[in-house]
Structure formats: structure tokens, C-alpha cells
Structure 1
Amino acid sequence: MSSFDRRKVLLMPLAACLAGSACGFEPVYAPGGSGSELFGRVELSAPNTVDSFLLVENLEQKLGRSATSGKDYKLNVQVATDIQAAAITTTNETNRYTINGRAEFSLRSNETGQIMASGTVTDFVGYSAAGSTVSTLADERDAKRRLMSILSDQIVNRLYATPDLTA
């Protein structure tokens, strides 16, 4: 007579992790991993808008502060946002807005000039417009800051997942 063995089901994720290490999986922050290899080696493009400034600020926190010389890579980022009304009352007043964000990036090797990674990341955030004008503007500013943080996280995650970035 056989019965259900819960231990086998609970050990399946552990077995999958062990099998993953045999097929080339390596931790990002391990010595020699892409996370430690990119830190401090990426020059970021100069911001030209408030949104791009916020994005570059977040990228610098994750990839290290940029400088103009001695970097192995150059990361160019173009960011665009679009604000849309999300909740409109029957009296045609907007109570909530959504900010859609899109960032296109390309990581180029300074040594070879080859593009190592590129892509587009998108996301959105919302904020309330039900308060005073001052609180609505503060909420919008905070929402843009959150959106740029989300987009920078997505860019860094894609860079860390890019093969062949280790020295």
C-alpha cells in the first residue's frame, strides 16, 4: 500500500537548484559574477531632463559612480514618460493619474565599441490627485522618483543577466 510522501514534494525545489548549478548557473554577486564585475566600471550617459537625472542617480547607486575616464563600458539611456488620467469622476474631475515610463538602454564596450547589451524596459506608477494642488504636485514628483527607481532596477537586472560581461 503506497501513501503520499510529502518529503519528496518538499525536496523537489532543492533538487532543481542543485541541477541548475550544473548547467552554468552562477550567482550574480559571487566573486567574478556580473554584479561585482560591473560595479564601478560603467560610465553613464549625462542626464538632460529631470526624469533622466533621477534614472541616472538610481543607476549610479547600483553600478557605482560614473567618471569620464578609465571605465570599461558606456551605458546610454533614453527615458520617456507619459501622464494619463486614470480615474475620472462623473463631474469630469481627475482623481488619479498614471505615469507610463519607458527607458531604452545600450551598454557599449569602450575597448571594442561593440554593444554588449541593449533593450527597452517599461513600467507604470500611479498617484492621487484628490488633495490640494501642492499635495498633487508632491505626489507626482514622488511617483516619478518611484518610476525611475523601478526602471533602473529593471535595467540593472537585464545587465546582470547578460552573459560574457565578466573580465
Structure 2
Amino acid sequence: MSSFNRRFFLLSAAALGGTSLSGCGFEPVYGTDGAASMLLNNVLVDEPKANESYLLVRELENRLGQPGGAPQFGLSLAMNLDEQGVGRTSAQVTNRYDVVGSVTYALRGMDNKEVLTTGKVSSFTSYSASGSTVSELAARDDAYERLMVILADRIVVDLQAYAVSEAA
């Protein structure tokens, strides 16, 4: 029989509150004095030109917010997408695809159009093409949407890292 008591551990951790993290230097990037709080609702992302770029802009706006008044920053995006067949049956029919994507971005100041930081992120997702036509199209659309979520997350992490390095 174990003498470990989960309730005691959770209650003691709750009683300590955030004091156990105070010495480690942890600070939320979007906190009250967080380094990346300047990005929230303050970045105007360029208008999308295709469905995939719409999905990426939507995800970025979900994470950074939509600017209410005059935004301080602008974000330009250049996307490159490629679809590659990776799985084949013995009859040489492709039944699995990788969707590979990369985005080059540039964060600029809106007042003087000066480029503050640039970067490139990339990733891939896959989908199966072995079902019906409808299920294949749904899987393909889902793969592109998942890819845009991954790319948006990576762009936001890079922008947060930039904001933290500028605040230091």
C-alpha cells in the first residue's frame, strides 16, 4: 500500500500558489507586464489571397487578436505549399499524401514600414486517399487546415521570442 496521498499533495501545491515558480524566472509572455503583450490586438495581418492563406490568417488572428484601432505592427506572409505522394499500393496507386508547407513572414512597424523581424517556418501533415472521393476530399481539406494551425503556432512562437528578446 502506498503512503502517497494525492489530495494532500494537490492541496499543499494550491496553498503555495505561484510562490514555487517565483524563483525560476518564469513570466507569462502575455501577462500584465509580459514582453509579448504589445502584440495582442496590435498586429494587422495582410489580407489572404487563397483559401489556405485565409486559414492561416484566421489562426493568427485567433492567437494574436484582431486590431481594434490603429495597429502598431503589420505582418506580411509568403506561403509555399506542396503535395507529395508518399504511399503506393502494389498496383502503383498513391494512397497517402504529405502536404508540406513553409511560410516566410516579416513583422514591420506600421509607422515607418521598417522590418522589425523576419523568419521562416515549415511543417507537414499527411492524409489518406484510400477511401471514397468524399472522404478523400475531406481528409485533404483537414490536412491543409491542420498544417495552417501548426504554421500559425510556429509563427506566433517566433514573434513571442522576438518580443521577449526586444524587452530584455
Give the TM-score, by structure 1 length: 0.80
Equivalent positions of 1:59-78 (< 5 A) are: 59-66=60-67, 70-78=70-78
Cα displacement (A) at 1:165: 6.3
| Unmatched 5+ stretches in structure 1 | 1-16
Instruction: List per-residue Cα deviations over 1:29-65 (Å, max 9, x = no partner).
Output: 2212233221100011000011100000000101112
Amino acid paired to 1:156: V
Runs of 4+ in 1 over 4 A off after TM superposition: none
Distance 1:165 1:64 in 2: 21
Q: Which amino acid aligns with 2:94?
A: T
CA contact (8 A) 1:38 1:165 kept: no
- What aligned pairs does 1:35-74 form with structure 2 within 5 A after superposition? 35-66=36-67, 70-74=70-74
Provide the rounded CA distance (Å) in 2 between the counterparts of 1:122 and 1:116. Answer: 20
8 A contact 1:43–1:66 mirrored in 2: yes
**CA distance in structure 2 between the partners assigned to 1:53 and 1:71 by the alignment:** 20
Opposite residue 166 of structure 2, the aligned amino acid is D
2:75, 2:127 → 1: CA distance? 30
- Structure 2 unmatched ranges of 5 or more: 1-21
Q: Counterpart of 1:7? A: none
The one-letter amino acid of 1:60's match is: E
* Alignment partners' CA distance in 2, 1:115 and 1:144: 29
CA spacing shift, 1:118–1:165, aligned 2, 3 Å: farther
Cross-structure match for 1:164: 166
Q: Distance in 2 between matches of 1:117 and 1:26?
A: 22
Q: CA deviation at 1:90?
A: 1.6
Number of residue equivalences: 147
Alignment of 1:1-167 (within 5 A): 18=23, 21=25, 26-66=27-67, 70-162=70-162, 163-164=165-166
CA distance change for structure 1 residues 100 and 145 in 2, over 3 Å: closer, same or farther? same
SS where residue 161 of structure 1 aligns?
helix
Higher helix fraction: Structure 1 or Structure 2?
2
For normalisation by structure 2, the TM-score amounts to 0.80
Question: What amino acid is the match of 2:74?
Answer: K
